[in-house]
Amino acid sequence: MKRLILLTTLLLATTNYAQKINKVPLSSIESLFIDVQAHYTEVHSNQLNLYVNYGQESNSLPPSVEYLLTDDDNTALVFDSERQITTYFRKLGYDLIKTYKQERSPIKGFKFSKVKPSANKSTNQDTLTNQKQ
């Protein structure tokens, strides 16, 4: 009986309350690249909800509940700044590749990678030049 109580206590202590995207824990996503869109929670608010696209199958595009980053209780996570967003994903092992803003929209986007970009960054012009030689 003591072992059962100890085992149950250890199991509960090690349970990870993970953030989820459409009931999929964010920590279990194995995608090397993700696209994150930050949408303001309200019109005159500085708080942001995140919609994460990791290549999941969906019948809709963000912003849709299928892409919303939530906690275990299915409550949307709220972020206060771009820095908080990048720090959050950095802790999950993602590097920020670039940010973007959609034209005439308050939506801010972030592209993250689990792979470090190669040191030998070639452009399309470099590729064309190499092919001609």
Domain borders along the chain are 15-117
**C-alpha distances out from residue 133 to 31, 120, 122, 123, 124, Å:** 36, 19, 16, 16, 15
Reported confidence tier of residue 97, pLDDT bands at 50, 70, 90: very high
Reported confidence tier of residue 103, pLDDT bands at 50, 70, 90: confident
pLDDT at 121: 52
Q: Exposed, middle or buried: residue 31 (CB in 10 Å: 0-12, 13-18, 19+)?
A: middle
Q: What's this model's pTM, rounded to 2 decimal places?
A: 0.68
Mean pLDDT of the chain: 76
> Which of the residue ranges 62-66, 113-117, 125-129 would you say has the lowest mean pLDDT?
125-129
The mean pLDDT value for 12-18 works out to: 42
In CATH terms, the fold of domain 15-117 is: Gtp Cyclohydrolase I Feedback Regulatory Protein; Chain: K (3.30.1410)
- Which tokens belong to 126? 């470099």
pLDDT tens digits, 21-71: 878 887 888 889 999 999 988 877 789 999 999 888 877 777 788 889 998
Place of tokens 């993602």: 94
DSSP summary character for residue 76: B
